Structure 1
Amino acid sequence: MTLTLDYTFMLTDAASGGVAPGAFAAAQGTFAAAHAAVAARHAAGELGFLDLPRRRDLATQVLEFAAGARGAWRDVVLLGIGGSALGPIALRNALCAPQWNGLDAAARAGYPRLHVLDNVDPVTIGAVLDRVQLADTLFLVVSKSGGTAETMAQYLVVRARLEAQALPLARHLVFVTDPEKGALRPIARREGFAALDIPANVGGRFSVLSPVGTLPAALVGIDIESLLAGAGDMVRRCATSELARNPAGTFATLQWLADTKGGKRVHVLMPYADPLRDIAAWFVQLWAESLGKVSGDGEHVGPTPVPALGATDQHSQVQLFMEGPLDKTVTFVAVEQPALDVTIPGAHGDVADLAYLGGHSLWELLNIERRATAGALASRGRPSMTLSLPAVDPWHLGALVMLLEIATAYAGALYGVNAFDQPGVELGKRFTYGMMGRPGFEAARDEFARLPKPNPERIIG
């Protein structure tokens, strides 16, 4: 069985606030042009994320390193930020046993715990480094450029801790970085560190199926061969320029139409499965950083992605989705077969609020709540669609990840923006470098110094 996309409730004949069926059909030509634009960039050597499922060299790097590390480490700590962290977190939490880091070694089948340090908050970093035994810990330093201030700061802190305990750096530090460029590659060569490749044509938020994600996944026992196979199947499914047969194309085109023609500028991704909670967080970066741009004609474009979790957020955000501004689409992620189900026992037969639950299962309740929420939204004219996975396993997760990545590439072409850069974050980086004293950024420091200062009359204390 394979991943499916049900977009019934995205169209106006099922949800009045959705996309008109005629408008969707008429978008075939526009989508074909977007499909061709993406294919042309791929043919030109860009968009290397599409090649990752068949990059045997990268998979071999990962599998050989993971085999050599088997049984050697109690803990693996990944140092990264953005796509270098969100993807590995999503893979760990989807495909490892729940509460993985809290399990004992036997329950983890001897695989290590995996910690991801995705920020530079000293409270968190200090706590993790104080908790692990450094002699039994492997550190993955993940940065394509080697210039990411947060990750490099983490690396320097960890390196000093290792040196303070006279631990061999080349044993405890692994770099995941550009094959040739950047600050980390020459350090690895000079000091004999293992270094795995992030292809030059793969950007950070599209890198989860590269060693950025597959190395930490393999180290904790995730079947990366199956993960990549599922992704490869989705690449094949999306090779067609026929809109109604291309799941990523349909997802992207409906979201684009809902936004640009219907004012649905907020796109919610709402898995109904705890293991997929962090796929929503990963999608937020993918969709936001890729599409929030200034288009070629000077228009500020891009939808706002929002993560949600069913059924938890039925008691939080769904009130807004139902009766707030009619400016949202909701994409549910359903799982057809759970890894485990629990029957609800019958009791309190004389209490109507409890009696009806007995004999059903928790999975049945969760999925009925998803269907009920979709139906309730449709009844109020609120559009939604559902991505269904037969199971949460490496093959289907690989397919889901690749679908969303390809959809993002199509959406960039539809919006008329480059989905593979992030110029909007560069100014803040330059200001940071200038204020931290990085050579070459004195002008940025001076520019920041000329900004308005906090007005004491506008500070409440």
Structure 2
Amino acid sequence: MITYWLDYDWVPDSRTEKLMMEAFGRMVEERERGVAGYYHLPEDSKLLETEVKAWMASNPVLPRCDTIVLIGIGGSSLGTRAVDSMLRHGTENVKRFVFLENPDPVDISEKLSTIRKEKTLFIVVSKSGTTIETISLFKTVIDRFDLDLKGTDRSRVLVITDEGSPLCRFADDHELKAYTIPENVGGRFSVLSAVGIVPLTIAGYDTCGILQGASDMVTRFFERREKHIEKKAAFMATHWERYRMNVLFAYATFLEEFSGWYVHLWGESLGKIDAEGMHVGPTPIGRIGAVDQHSFLQLVMEGPRDKTVTFMKVVDFENDLKIPSLTLENIENADYINTHTFNELINAECDATLQSMVEKKIPVDLIALDRMTPANVGELIVYYELLTSMTGAMLDIDIYTQPGLERGKTILINKFEKDR
């Protein structure tokens, strides 16, 4: 179960209420017309999960594999990384992930040195099938491990891409197993498609539970039973010129990868030029408590009042590690926390920091997960996707494109073409 709480000291006026209704209607239309396919993924991917398990049972190399190397970048890997990080500590017998994403030669070399071919399944993920970082890393893996893609290693490589993409054609030519991404699902909204469900299922996670949690949230939202999403989106969309940043302050180290996924989803979707030529979109910032209480918090509390803050905590870490009942000479003033659990400490820090911001009248909201379960993870993913769509609809922008990225890609291609 997840609890949501808002403290914005703000009530939408009649004009904003009208905008909220129009934005909700736009999302209903997107869902019905198939403009954005992510609305249907929680149900559609249940069949996919069944198909993956059948493939796993017939794959001859998988019983010997304890590692999955996922080759992808951005939306092709961030969601899977986030789910793996959030659920790994509470899931038994899951396979190790190695994520090959960034074209950083030191990072690549270090990760490759940890991989044993005979113990590894390689998964290549690229929606377009031409992502330069991903294809370059795929070539490196083929060369480094001498992969025979027309023979003995065919069962060791799996492809996830768009139907008919160059990577899909490559897979067909080499008779590699391929799963496709729905055409109307963008990369940053794709974690509940084959992009995330296939590798997470193979790794041993309860993807059925993830999908059910997501499906339940989608149902409740379109039945207007999650009105807090509409109010939060309305505040973000109507106050972004004053509050130009939203800080996700997540109180668990294993939520750091989720923060990265949120920054990607929010930034690429909402950073746009609107119909009037105005550059819009609140900037997403991911921070981890309690670590960043000792740095970034000062800026929030006494710096420019241009930020909203979302607190995220896990009520029960299902870990009873305690602070020992020890008294250290000269630092006895720290004894007040003795015998309490670290679970109590980190959540008390979250609550105290939140209260201090409420007292300063900084707009805050809280997302409290009772535990870190597959269903809660699925709900959390869809919560942020719906919030992003609702905010974009109220800003009257197309959140499913990313034209700002294209010029850089063109310059990169021209540079290397010139050097050939």
User: Where on the TM-score scale, by shorter chain, does this alignment land: which range?
Assistant: over 0.9
Q: Which residue of 2 aligns with 1:459?
A: none
Among 198, 201, 209, which residue is 2:184 paired with? 201
Q: Which residue of 2 aligns with 1:4?
A: 3
Q: Does the alignment pair 1:434 with 2:414?
A: yes
Q: How many residues align?
A: 414
The amino acid that maps onto 2:8 is M
For 1:355 and 1:401, how far apart are their aligned partners in 2? 39
Q: Which residue of 2 aligns with 1:16?
A: none
Q: Which residue of 1 aligns with 2:236?
A: 255
Q: Does the alignment pair 1:367 with 2:344?
A: no
Tell which deviates more after alignment, 330-339 or 391-400.
Answer: 330-339
Distance 1:67 1:165, change over 3 A: closer
Q: Which residue of 2 aligns with 1:175?
A: 159
Kindly state the Cα deviation for residue 198 of structure 1 after the two structures are TM-superposed: 1.1
Matches within 5 A, 1:17-416: 20-23=10-13, 27-55=16-44, 56-68=46-58, 70-97=62-89, 109=93, 111-163=94-146, 168-178=152-162, 180-241=163-224, 245-260=226-241, 263-348=242-327, 352-416=332-396
The amino acid that maps onto 2:239 is A
For 1:165 and 1:419, how far apart are their aligned partners in 2? 41
Kindly state the Cα deviation for residue 241 of structure 1 after the two structures are TM-superposed: 4.8
Q: Which residue of 2 aligns with 1:454?
A: none
For 2:346 and 2:77, how far apart are their aligned partners in 1? 29
The amino acid that maps onto 2:155 is R
Report Cα offsets for 1:366-386 as digits up to 9, x if no partner: 111111101111222211100
Tell which deviates more after alignment, 249-258 or 188-197.
Answer: 249-258
Report Cα offsets for 1:97-140 as digits up to 9, x if no partner: 28x9xxxxxxx63x421111121112211222222112221111
Distance 1:310 1:68, change over 3 A: farther
Distance 1:353 1:222, change over 3 A: same
Report Cα offsets for 1:422-447 as digits up to 9, x if no partner: 0000111111122222xxxx8xx9xx
Kindly state the Cα deviation for residue 345 of structure 1 after the two structures are TM-superposed: 2.5
For 1:3 and 1:416, how far apart are their aligned partners in 2? 29
The answer to whether the 8 A contact 2:66-2:96 is kept is: yes
Kindly state the Cα deviation for residue 234 of structure 1 after the two structures are TM-superposed: 0.6
The answer to whether the 8 A contact 1:79-1:140 is kept is: yes
Which segments of 5 or more consecutive residues in structure 1 lack a partner in the other structure? 12-19, 101-107, 446-461
TM-score by length of 2: 0.93
Kindly state the Cα deviation for residue 161 of structure 1 after the two structures are TM-superposed: 2.5
For 2:258 and 2:289, how far apart are their aligned partners in 1? 13
- Identity rate of aligned residues, in percent? 34
For 2:188 and 2:315, how far apart are their aligned partners in 1? 28
For 2:224 and 2:133, how far apart are their aligned partners in 1? 41
For 1:394 and 1:52, how far apart are their aligned partners in 2? 16
Report Cα offsets for 1:233-258 as digits up to 9, x if no partner: 1101110357xx42432332222233
Kindly state the Cα deviation for residue 68 of structure 1 after the two structures are TM-superposed: 4.3
For 2:268 and 2:316, how far apart are their aligned partners in 1? 33
Classify the secondary structure of the residue corresponding to 2:165: coil
The answer to whether the 8 A contact 1:268-1:305 is kept is: yes
For 1:301 and 1:136, how far apart are their aligned partners in 2? 47
The answer to whether the 8 A contact 1:94-1:275 is kept is: yes
Kindly state the Cα deviation for residue 34 of structure 1 after the two structures are TM-superposed: 0.5
Distance 1:61 1:248, change over 3 A: farther
Kindly state the Cα deviation for residue 3 of structure 1 after the two structures are TM-superposed: 1.6
For 2:301 and 2:332, how far apart are their aligned partners in 1? 27
The answer to whether the 8 A contact 1:269-1:330 is kept is: yes
* RMSD of equivalent CA atoms: 2.1
For 1:435 and 1:169, how far apart are their aligned partners in 2? 35
For 1:425 and 1:28, how far apart are their aligned partners in 2? 33
Kindly state the Cα deviation for residue 283 of structure 1 after the two structures are TM-superposed: 0.1
Tell which deviates more after alignment, 371-380 or 60-69.
Answer: 60-69
Classify the secondary structure of the residue corresponding to 1:163: coil
For 2:130 and 2:287, how far apart are their aligned partners in 1? 32
Report Cα offsets for 1:354-412 as digits up to 9, x if no partner: 22112322111111111110111122221110011111111001000000001111111
The amino acid that maps onto 1:36 is G
Kindly state the Cα deviation for residue 349 of structure 1 after the two structures are TM-superposed: 8.6
For 1:50 and 1:132, how far apart are their aligned partners in 2? 37
Kindly state the Cα deviation for residue 57 of structure 1 after the two structures are TM-superposed: 3.1
Which segments of 5 or more consecutive residues in structure 2 lack a partner in the other structure? none
The amino acid that maps onto 2:77 is A
